[in-house]
Amino acid sequence: MEPTISYHYEEIKWINGRIGFWDMSGNPVMRTIWQLIYRNVKVNAILYVINIMDISDEVLRENNSHISLLLNDECLQASCVVLVFNTFNDVDSVDEATKNQLFVKYKVKDLINHYGNRIHHIFVDCKNCKLDKNWIGLMQQISCYF
């Protein structure tokens, strides 16, 4: 699955209605318009996709900075943020040590302690997420925001 170059919008039928998804690129040019979208469209949840194959210090700093900005933006205070750790393959093939290392690097425990149920996380192969039962479980868990 190739990264999103600009943006894509799609709606899906869910429980009592429809959910709209904005797939926004994380490239520097597109990041400048994130606020234009979420300040003008009701946002219930942000799914922040993290490439677990790229854990360079620069990428970690950049991702942690963006996650913090999203969690602290006044327009998103009623929204949850889901850290989607993209495994690019079978989720079960990612060992617990790797998951724990990512939790530490992304300060997941601190985020949960500070933001409570506004912060969620999941390990998923984004390319095959429709086949992952954990994905459906996460959607049910955060559906209270919709």
The pLDDT tens digits along the chain (146 residues) read 566 777 778 887 877 777 777 888 888 888 888 888 889 988 888 989 999 988 899 999 999 999 999 999 999 999 999 999 988 877 788 899 999 999 999 999 999 999 999 999 999 888 777 667 777 777 777 777 76
Query: Which phi and psi (to 5°) does residue 54 adopt?
Result: -115, 95
- The per-residue pLDDT for 131 is 67
In a domain, 90, yes or no: yes
In a domain, 22, yes or no: no
Domain of 88, in residue numbers: 42-145
- The per-residue pLDDT for 146 is 66
* Residue in the structure block whose two tokens are 């469209």: 41
In a domain, 137, yes or no: yes
CA distance 108 to 128: 24
Query: Which is nearest to 23 in space by CA: 15, 137, 14, 37?
Result: 37
Under 8 Å between Cβ of 81 and 71: yes
- The per-residue pLDDT for 130 is 66
Does the reported pTM lie above 0.95?
Answer: no
Under 8 Å between Cβ of 127 and 135: no
Feature table: binding site: 4, 26
In a domain, 23, yes or no: no
In a domain, 35, yes or no: no
In a domain, 93, yes or no: yes
In a domain, 49, yes or no: yes
In a domain, 20, yes or no: no
CA distance 53 to 39: 31
Residue 88 has what DSSP assignment?
S
- The per-residue pLDDT for 23 is 81
Bridge partners (DSSP) of residue 18 are 13
Feature table: binding site for Mg(2+): 4
Under 8 Å between Cβ of 6 and 25: yes
Feature table: binding site for GTP: 26
How many domains is the chain partitioned into structurally?
A: 1
